[in-house]
Amino acid sequence: MRNKKNYLVTGGTGFIGAGICKMLLKLGHKVTILDNNSRGKISRLFKIKKKIKFIKGDIRDKKKVFNSLKNIDAVIHLAYINGTKFFYEKPDLILDVAVKGLMNIFDGCIKYKIKELYLASSSEVYQTPTKIPTDEKEPLKIPNVYNPRYSYGGGKILTELMGISYGKRYFKKLVIFRPHNVYGPDMGNEHVIPEFINRFKKLRGKNFKIQGNGSETRSFIYIDDFVRAFRYILQKGKHLQIYNIGTNEKVKINILAKKLSKIFNKKIVIKKSKLFKGSTKKRLPNINKIKLLGFKQKIKLDQGLDFLVNYN
Ligand SMILES: NC(=O)c1ccc[n+]([C@@H]2O[C@H](COP(=O)([O-])OP(=O)(O)OC[C@H]3O[C@@H](n4cnc5c(N)ncnc54)[C@H](O)[C@@H]3O)[C@@H](O)[C@H]2O)c1
C-alpha cells in the first residue's frame, strides 16, 4: 500500500471534516471533498482550499458520488445531518441521507475496488447505556421508534451494522468510530457549548436556563484532540474494529454553565427546565481502546473553553 493516498472525505467542509482534511494534507495526502454545504462551509478550509479538490453535491446523488470516487484510495464518510433540533424536525431526511448516502458509498467503493473505508458513527448509538463509562461492547439501542430523536442514532446503528457486513465481504480495512461531543471553533450553533457561549454574550440579568436539572453529565473533546485520535485510527486502527473517541473528563451541565460564567465574568442563577424527550442523562465513553493505539487527551475542558471564548 502506498504511503501517500488520495482520500475522499464526504462531509469534508463540516466541522470535523475540515479538521480531518487539514491533518491529511499535513501528512502529505491528497484530498477530495464531497459536500452539499448544507452545513459545511469552504471558508473552514480557507488557507488550504487551493490544495483540495472540492465537489459540491449530495451524498444521495449516485452519479456525483461515483464521480468523486474515481482514483480514490480511501474514503472517510462523515456526511450526515447533525444538530439535535434537526433530529426532531426532520427525522425522515436524516434517515434518507444516512441510508442512501451509505449505500452510494458502498456501491461506489465496490465498483472502483476501494478497499479502505472509515465510517463516522456516534455516541448516540448507546442512548441510555447500562455501563458508565461505556465501552464499545455496549448493546446499541433504539428505545422507541416513535420518538423522532432516534432517527439520528438509528441511522448510525444501521451504518455500523451494514459497515460490518459489507466490510467483511468487500473491504480490507473498514473502521468505525464513535465521536463523543466534539467541540471547537466554528462548530455550528446547534450544540450545548456554542449555544451557552452565544447566550452568555447576550446575557442581561442573572437567570440562565438549562435543559434538565443540571446534574446531567457529558464529556467533551476539543477538535484538535479529536483529530489526533482519528489520526491514530487512520494509522493503526484495525479492520472491522469500532473505537470510541472522546475523553474521560466528566462534567455536569450546571458546572459547564458555571465554568463559562467565570470566563465571561457574569454571575448566573441556573434555571432548570425539562429535558428533551429521549435525551440521555449520563454520557461518558470508556476510551481504553483508542488509548491503546496511542491517544492521550492534551486539551482539558477549561483550556478548550478558554480558547473557544477568545476565538469568537
Ligand atoms: N460533532 C460531534 O460531536 C459528533 C458527535 C458524534 C458523531 N458525529 C458525526 O461526525 C460526522 C461529522 O460531524 P460534524 O460535527 O462535522 O457535523 P457537520 O454538520 O459540521 O458536518 C457534516 C457535513 O455533512 C454535510 N452534509 C449533510 N448532508 C449532506 C448531504 N446530503 N450530502 C452531502 N453532504 C452533506 C454537511 O454540509 C456538513 O458539512 C457526522 O457523521 C456526525 O454524525 C459528530
| Nearest Cα residue to atom 26 of ligand 1 | 79
Query: In this structure, what C-alpha cell is assigned to residue 228?
Result: 489526533
* Ligand 1 centroid, distance to 109 Cα (angstroms): 20
Atom of ligand 1 nearest to the CA of 82: 19
User: Is 111 within 8 Å of 66 (Cβ atoms)?
Assistant: yes
How many of the other CB atoms lie within 10 Å of CB of 258? 17
Pocket probe mutation, ligand 1, options 15, 80, 175, max atoms within 8 Å of Cβ: 80
Beta bridge partners of 179: 245
41: exposed, middle or buried (Cβ count in 10 Å: 0-12, 13-18, 19+): middle
Domains, the chain, in order of start with CATH, read 6-182+220-245 (3.40.50.720), 188-219+249-284+299-311 (3.90.25.10)
Q: Is 98 in the pocket of ligand 1 (CB under 6 A)?
A: no
Alpha carbon distances (Å) from 213 to 191, 200, 242: 18, 19, 33
* Ligand 1 centroid, distance to 14 Cα (angstroms): 6
Query: φ and ψ at 252, to 5 degrees?
Result: -80, 150
Q: Is 100 in the pocket of ligand 1 (CB under 6 A)?
A: no
Terminal CA-to-CA distance of the chain, rounded, Å? 42
* Ligand 1 centroid, distance to 188 Cα (angstroms): 11
Give the pLDDT of residue 49.
81
- Regions of the chain short of the pLDDT cut 50: 1
Atom of ligand 1 nearest to the CA of 221: 3
User: Is 197 within 8 Å of 309 (Cβ atoms)?
Assistant: yes
Q: Is 65 in the pocket of ligand 1 (CB under 6 A)?
A: no
Q: What is the pTM of this model?
A: 0.96
Q: In what order do the strands lie in the sheet with 30-35?
A: 53-56, 30-35, 6-10, 74-77, 116-120, 173-179, 242-245
What does the alpha-carbon distance between residue 14 and residue 142 come to, in Å, rounded to a whole number? 26
| Nearest Cα residue to atom 23 of ligand 1 | 11
